[in-house]
Structure 1
Amino acid sequence: MTAARDAFTVISPGRVNLIGEHTDYNDGFVLPMAIDRGLRIAVRPRAGRMAVVSSDRGGPAAEIDLDGPLAAGRTDWGRYVAGVIAGYRRLGWEIPGFEAVITADLPAGGGLSSSAALEVGMATVLETLCGRELPTAEKALLCQRAEHEFAGVPCGIMDQFAVAFGRAGHALLLDCRSREIRPVPLADEVAILVIDSGVKHALADGSYAARRRDCEAAARRLGKVALRDVAPSEWPAVEALLPEPERRRARHVVAENARVLAFAAAVEAGDWMRAGRLMAESHASLRDDFEVSCRELDLICEAAGKVAGVFGCRMTGGGFGGCAVALIDASRAADIAADVQAQCGEALGAEPTVFATGAAGGARLVAG
């Protein structure tokens, strides 16, 4: 790979998680896919030792001294850029000066991993500038560390792995302990619909971290490395050992891991009704046991679930706002999307943004 001397562009997708929420940091299973919306990062090398990154959404550019200290104190979106640069500098890479402009068709705070798209996209930019690459898994883990250290969000590996490993036409069954990935083909007869609740979430506000602490405390109390190690058949015998809210948090994780594997099997068998029921069960568990849904997401899932051609609907992402994802009949996708938008509009008092998406490839260089 030759270091870039001319302008180039990187595309970095968002992601939806079809099922498997808050299981990644419990060493569990998830089934995300990269989507055909995301970030486009236009880059050109520049003289000097500065990175200047701006966004089409306004605000001041992030200006980063490539030789100076990269502290985790900044609060703007530039902290994600700084965190990724810090990761490559830690490996001894010398990052050349550059300018970048980011354009996006992905809602920030919408639960579609805009932060992971920025991190993995910026990692791809740095690798292109330097003319060398990390193995994809190492790159994703570097980006996860950037989010931990510079954004203060103790996320699992799902988002960065989905953005880095995305494969067109496939969801990714990811074992978050072994980091093994099995692509799961999505048949042409189904489509994915994303419904934006309009409620912006902020995972750095502490609620996400509190859920992770509950899960880790429950695992310790049960003598397990992680809640992934509690089998569904074992749960009735151990649930009484846990106080609230640890019991409800653990109940969600144990059941959700089983749902992910059952959902992948249903998709591979073309059993869309079964897949849809599992999505509905997942949402109910996230609402009642994990307590990360919100009124708007609950209304969306209830309204969308009544529309003919919708197999199932659930919140996606960390929760506390963001988007819902629905599995629908692709042969009637446009009509179903319009019906879902109208029904959700009646429930919410205003029509939400709704769009269909396909499974896309991961972050990549598109022009050199």
Structure 2
Amino acid sequence: MGYFEQYTGSGGEDFRVFFAPGRVNLIGEHTDYTGGYVFPAALSYGTWLGVRPRTDGRFRFFSTSFDKQVDIGADELAYSAEDGWSNYPKGVLWMLQQEGHAFPGYDFVFHGNIPNGAGLSSSASISMVTALALRDLGQLPLTTIDLVKLTQRMENQYMGVSCGIMDQFAVGMGKAGQAMLLRCETLEYEYVPLELGDYSLVIINSNKRRELADSKYNERVAECATGFAQLQKQLPHVPNLGNVNAADWERFQEEVTDPVIRKRLEHVIRENDRVKRSAESLRQGDLLAFGDYMRRSHESLRDLYEVTGKELDALVEAAWKAEGCIGARMTGAGFGGCTVNLVHRDQVDAFKRAVEEEYRGKTGLHPDFYHCEIGDGAREIERGVEPCPFW
């Protein structure tokens, strides 16, 4: 018996299975909510969702990762802290209801292999796979970009997290073997081949849970808004912080009177420039330059944006010292979670040993290492076509 029947029982209509990946952001951190540039890629890790329609108007949510199960009606979709992880699919249902869509009820069974709390966008993966399933099952006239926008609004309005659109976009629009250079203000994007030659992407989970991430994230969003309001007095035709270039920042940075907020804006403006330069270095096959931009990004996140924390810093510093590593940085919101590393494939094992020893010595924590393929975005899984834990 597969996962689906274990939770819902057998019988009734056959179920369908959908998948949405996690994502890793190669560079461009805390730039998306200012309308700037990011450079993410979808992973082969992700969330599978088995769905079967019901006829009684009930929605049942199960997960192979959490004991909490939720059984509610269409008028019971309000956010509830007690419902934990299921608020993400509940929120997607709620958003679609607000837009006038109705559903007959469904059984949902989620199964994921994204490390929980690692900063690889398990929440966006859950939200996007739910939105995709509801669209396809309900035959709704919505594009993937529509679903990307809807799941971001859900995070903002329902979950209360002032996130940008990068996570949802990468999860929805990913393409195997490609990174995405995305301008978050306009959703203009292009795929850039992730041709790493003799190097591999190694993701390391610090196993430091991201307890501060949401609260500090919202704090940084507010700091950027405050600083840009001051800066805009000299740049009235610039619509958002993501459009401020380095030259204008050099001229007008003293308009931002608080030195802490000035540091926040310094990071965002320089990071936007690094993203564009990093994408160009990959196009030209200059991996050493790309690795150097990764290093500078982490230093800026540590010193100017102050979202790394001692665990991520220890992990990145251990990677910088390890032979065969040409680039390492934190990825995600920060305060725990993961790092992304560019390591020569012949030295990956030695790299892992060296990093684990130093990191454990400094923090007492054991890191987990992941070798990830860059995969496709959200999609339905056809039985017998792709491997799937539901059958």
- Which residue of the other structure, out of 200, 212, 218, is the alignment partner of 2:227? 218
- Which residue of the other structure, out of 341, 345, 348, is the alignment partner of 2:360? 345
Alpha-carbon RMSD across the aligned residues, in angstroms, is 1.8
Question: Does residue 1:302 correspond to 2:317, yes or no?
Answer: yes
Question: Which residue does the alignment assign to 1:277?
Answer: 292
Aligned amino acid, residue 200 of structure 2: A
- Which residue of the other structure, out of 253, 275, 279, is the alignment partner of 1:260? 275
Aligned amino acid, residue 98 of structure 1: Y
* Closer/same/farther in 2, CA of residues 109 and 207 from structure 1, 3 Å limit: same
Q: 1:88: how far off? A: 1.5
1:145-156 superposed matches below 5 A: 145-156=153-164
Aligned amino acid, residue 240 of structure 2: A
Q: 1:100: how far off? A: 1.6
State the TM-score, normalizing by the size of structure 2: 0.88
Aligned amino acid, residue 98 of structure 2: R
Question: Does residue 1:178 correspond to 2:169, yes or no?
Answer: no
- Secondary structure of residue in 1 paired with 2:239: coil
Q: Is the 8 A contact 1:41 1:103 kept in 2?
A: yes
Question: Which residue does the alignment assign to 2:305?
Answer: 290
Q: Is the 8 A contact 1:300 1:347 kept in 2?
A: no
Q: Is the 8 A contact 1:33 1:359 kept in 2?
A: yes
- Which residue of the other structure, out of 123, 126, 129, is the alignment partner of 2:134? 126
Aligned amino acid, residue 242 of structure 2: R
Q: Deviations over 1:127-150 (max 9, x none)?
A: 232133511111101001111122
Question: Which residue does the alignment assign to 1:88?
Answer: 96
Q: Deviations over 1:176-234 (max 9, x none)?
A: 01101100101151321111111111467521111000001111101143212221122
Q: Flag structure 1 segments of 5+ consecutive residues without an equivalent.
A: none
Cα separation, 2, equivalents of 1:78 and 1:250: 35
Between 55-64 and 281-290, report the one with greater CA deviation: 55-64
Question: Which residue does the alignment assign to 2:78?
Answer: 71
* Closer/same/farther in 2, CA of residues 36 and 337 from structure 1, 3 Å limit: farther
- Secondary structure of residue in 2 paired with 1:153: coil
Question: Does residue 1:312 correspond to 2:320, yes or no?
Answer: no
Question: Which residue does the alignment assign to 1:231?
Answer: 245
- Secondary structure of residue in 1 paired with 2:136: helix
State the TM-score, normalizing by the size of structure 1: 0.94
- Secondary structure of residue in 1 paired with 2:259: coil
Cα separation, 2, equivalents of 1:158 and 1:334: 32
Cα separation, 1, equivalents of 2:263 and 2:240: 15
Q: 1:270: how far off? A: 1.2
Between 153-162 and 355-364, report the one with greater CA deviation: 355-364
Cα separation, 1, equivalents of 2:78 and 2:213: 17
- Secondary structure of residue in 1 paired with 2:281: helix
Cα separation, 1, equivalents of 2:274 and 2:147: 29
Between 34-43 and 332-341, report the one with greater CA deviation: 332-341
Q: 1:93: how far off? A: 1.8
Cα separation, 1, equivalents of 2:122 and 2:245: 33
Q: 1:36: how far off? A: 1.0
Aligned length: 364
Cα separation, 2, equivalents of 1:241 and 1:275: 32
Cα separation, 2, equivalents of 1:83 and 1:204: 20
* Closer/same/farther in 2, CA of residues 244 and 63 from structure 1, 3 Å limit: farther
- Secondary structure of residue in 2 paired with 1:206: helix
Q: Is the 8 A contact 2:295 2:328 kept in 1?
A: yes
Q: Flag structure 2 segments of 5+ consecutive residues without an equivalent.
A: 1-11, 233-237, 384-391
Cα separation, 2, equivalents of 1:331 and 1:35: 22
* Closer/same/farther in 2, CA of residues 117 and 287 from structure 1, 3 Å limit: same
* Closer/same/farther in 2, CA of residues 285 and 14 from structure 1, 3 Å limit: same
